Amino acid sequence: MVLKGITFFVLTLLFISCKPPAGDCEECEAEDEYTGKSLFMDQCLSCHGEDGKLGNSGAKDLSISKLTPDEIKEVLSEGKGAMPPALELLADPNHMDSVVQFVQSLRK
Ligand code: HEC
């Protein structure tokens, strides 16, 4: 019985100490930016390049693009010309938003 109690206590302690800190919004914004950037580097780099200007396979220069966030989402959802739809982003609305934000941040 005593052993059971100790196990429960230790598990509770572990559970509490593993929870991420709540409510620090500076941190979540930084994470959003990081997510958008790393997703872009992962999925868009080959055609658009790090700064959006590469233009591989006829890709548009994202630094001079004037699309609204909704229009960017549409291109990412449906693809356009030689650009395939970004399926991974469609599966996760948070990732979609982060990448849209990052695309806009490429504009000067
Ligand atoms: C296989 C190459 C390729 C990949 C990968 C790719 N794109 Fe594109 N992208 C293109 C091409 C080509 C166009 C131009 C489409 C057209 O207008 O005919 C384009 C256009 C766009 C546009 C529209 C720009 C404008 O002003 O019209 C956006 C925004 C965009 N891409 C974002 C992304 C993002 C974000 C990713 C990663 C999730 C991505 N692209 C991945 C090739 C690619």
What is the secondary structure of 45-104 as a DSSP string?
HHHH-TTS---GGG---TTS----HHHHHHHHHH-BTTBPP-HHHHT-HHHHHHHHHHHH
* Cβ neighbours of 36 (radius 10 Å): 22
Q: Where along the chain do its domains lie?
A: 27-105
Q: Over 80: is that where the pLDDT of 69 sits? A: yes
The mean pLDDT value for 10-31 works out to 61
Would you say domain 27-105 falls under CATH 1.10.3470?
Answer: no
Query: CA 53 to CA 50: how far, in whole Å?
Result: 8
Determine the pLDDT at residue 26: 72
Q: How far is the CA of 27 from the centre of ligand 1 (A)?
A: 29
Token look-up 């966030």 returns 69
The Cα 86–Cα 12 span in angstroms is 41
Average of per-residue pLDDT across 75-90: 96
Distance 94 CA to ligand 1 centre (A): 19
Instruction: Choose the residue to mutate in 64, 75, 90 for probing ligand 1, maximizing ligand atoms within 8 Å of C-beta.
Output: 75
Q: How far apart are CA 61 and CA 65, in angstroms?
A: 6
Q: Among residues 40, 25, 27, 11, which one has the least CA distance to residue 101? A: 40
Candidate from 10-14, 29-33, 46-50, 100-104 with smallest mean pLDDT: 10-14
CB of 59 sitting under 6 A from ligand 1: yes
* Mean pLDDT, residues 65-89 taken together: 97
3-state DSSP call for residue 41?
helix
